[in-house]
Amino acid sequence: MKFYSTNKQSKSADFKTALLRGLADDGGLYMPNKIFNFQFLFFNDLKSKYITVRVIQRFTSLPKTNLEKIINEAFNFPVPLVRLNKNLYILELFNGPTLSFKDFGARFMARVMNYYLKKSRQHLNIIVATSGDTGSAVAAGFYGLSNIKVYVLYPSKRISELQEKQIATFGKNIVALEVKGDFDDCQRLAKQALNDESLRAKMHLSSANSINIGRLLPQMFYYFSGYRQFRTRYAKSPKLNPIFVVPSGNFGNLTAGFFAQKSGLSIKKFIAAVNTNSGVPEYLKTGRLSKRKTKMTYSNAMDVGIPSNWARILDLYGIPMRNINVNDEKLEKLNQDLEAITVSESETIKTIREIYKKYGYILDPHTAVGVAAALKSKSKEPKIVLATAHPAKFKEIVEKAIGAKIALPKTLAKIAKKPKKSILIGKDYSELKKILIGR
Ligand SMILES: *Cc1c(COP(=O)(O)O)cnc(C)c1O
């Protein structure tokens, strides 16, 4: 399988190249040439991991036994589907080591990269910009690998103390860079480094953001798993297809959902739930994505002004990356398949409080944006909300909303006690470059 760039200016690449490069030469994102339809697999009573191996194998051409091993090791924690009522389900994606759904992508990608690098005895430097959870998932996923060094860029004072500890307490091959700016600054710096020819001549560079195709593909797994649990336990009739509600920031999670749907999974449609950083709902209404400043919210991992994976979703629908007419047919089709709903800060808190009161279930702020969007939507089909983070990661906000204490899971309690080791840098690219070259 070949991967082309959304900017259509560079040559297509095989999976290994796309994985190790991250961004294409022309600054675009890699997209698969073809998404094979595996619909027949979903009608059989097959394990979701088995299906995932079959599907990902078509994209990557990795040997089946290696892929099986990687997937079994990477996804070694449960993904329960919790029923709140007949029409509202929560798919818990936060049971991995860093308690967010990003563990799926990061753990898979680390193992696949390691597989290729070991084979060719190469060394790799990874640069990753994070609004919180990516950094910790990537740091944990890659920690201790001898042939990969990871630089994590995160916005100073804009992520929770615990999130910061989860990035900046590793040491060894993990370098934590605290940027005096917001997430968009971090992302710009990372992109600049990845596009810097003179830097690339000196070191082998790659990204681990959700722009990396190696992180998106494994995320199809939990759509398969959530669907299967829904189908076998709650909705035996194959006519009743669920809506997946995806709390979104950079829209990688949703892109993986579209990949899963195109691979043959019967998803009715998607709801993208966003906080007040609401570029995408505006785009769906107007056909234009205006430049906007990132706003800080309770669901900080979704504080993204300009979502990078939006280019992929437009590409899937054949929509060019410029302003288009509101009445464009392709935009209409996208509007049928995707509803985007904005959730305010007060709605987020109110949802955490009310779901706790009504069901005794505790939501984190990101999942709460998803549940609030599910409740606001007029679509009638059952909704599966992706629970993207464990509530304990956002202890202060959640405890205030529900008026009760919640316990820190053991892994978090341990990290909370460790001292942070990070390097503070400004927004200027030269500062980052100095650090990258100096090491
Ligand atoms: C990263 C993240 C999101 C947003 O996911 P995208 O793939 O960037 O849209 C939502 N919730 C949590 C907890 C996250 O860490």
Question: Tens of pLDDT along 11-20?
Answer: 999 999 999 9
266 exposure class (CB count in 10 Å sphere: 0-12, 13-18, 19+)? middle
Q: What does each C-alpha distance from 308 to 231, 253, 360, 377, 426 come to in angstroms? A: 32, 12, 36, 25, 22
Q: Which atom of ligand 1 is nearest to the CA of 248?
A: 9
Instruction: Output the pLDDT for position 61.
Output: 86
pLDDT tens digit sequence for 198-207: 998 999 998 8
Instruction: Output the pLDDT for position 96.
Output: 94
Specify the DSSP element, H or E, that contains 134: helix 133-142
Other beta carbons within 10 angstroms of residue 159's beta carbon come to 24
Instruction: Output the pLDDT for position 162.
Output: 84
Instruction: Output the pLDDT for position 352.
Output: 98
Cα 93 to middle of ligand 1, angstroms: 11
At residue 404, the 3 state secondary structure works out as coil
Instruction: Output the pLDDT for position 159.
Output: 87
Task: Find out whether the beta carbon of 193 lies less than 6 Å from any atom of ligand 1.
Answer: no
- Sorted by sequence, the CB contacts under 8 Å of residue 72 that are 6+ apart come out as 49
Cα 131 to middle of ligand 1, angstroms: 9
Catalytic residue, chosen from 11, 69, 86, 102, is: 102
pTM: 0.92
Instruction: Output the pLDDT for position 115.
Output: 93
Q: What does each C-alpha distance from 143 to 147, 162, 219, 375 come to in angstroms? A: 11, 18, 21, 39
> Which 8-state DSSP code applies to residue 249?
S
Task: Find out whether the beta carbon of 128 lies less than 6 Å from any atom of ligand 1.
Answer: no
Residue to mutate, 102, 186, 212, 270, ligand 1, most ligand atoms under 8 Å from C-beta: 102
Instruction: Output the pLDDT for position 12.
Output: 96
The tokens for 252 are: 């990688």
The tokens for 238 are: 């194959």
pLDDT mean for each 10 residues of the chain (439 residues)? 96 95 90 94 87 96 95 96 97 95 95 92 92 86 90 93 91 96 92 91 85 95 97 87 97 98 97 97 93 90 91 96 89 97 98 98 98 97 97 94 93 90 96 89
Question: What is the rounded CA–CA span in Å between residue 394 and residue 56?
Answer: 33
Cα 377 to middle of ligand 1, angstroms: 20
Cα 133 to middle of ligand 1, angstroms: 7
Residue to mutate, 309, 388, 397, ligand 1, most ligand atoms under 8 Å from C-beta: 388
Question: What is the rounded CA–CA span in Å between residue 405 and residue 355?
Answer: 16
Concatenated DSSP letters for 16-82? HHHHHH-B-TTS-BEEES-----HHHHTS---HHHHHHHHHHHHH---HHHHHHHHHHHT-S---EE
Instruction: Output the pLDDT for position 249.
Output: 95
| E strands, 201-266, in order | 205-207, 243-247
Question: What is the rounded CA–CA span in Å between residue 237 and residue 258?
Answer: 23
Is 2 a residue of the active site? Answer: no
Instruction: Output the pLDDT for position 145.
Output: 85
Task: Find out whether the beta carbon of 163 lies less than 6 Å from any atom of ligand 1.
Answer: no
Task: Find out whether the beta carbon of 21 lies less than 6 Å from any atom of ligand 1.
Answer: no
Question: What is the rounded CA–CA span in Å between residue 154 and residue 174?
Answer: 13
413: phi then psi, degrees, rounded to nearest 5 = -60, -40
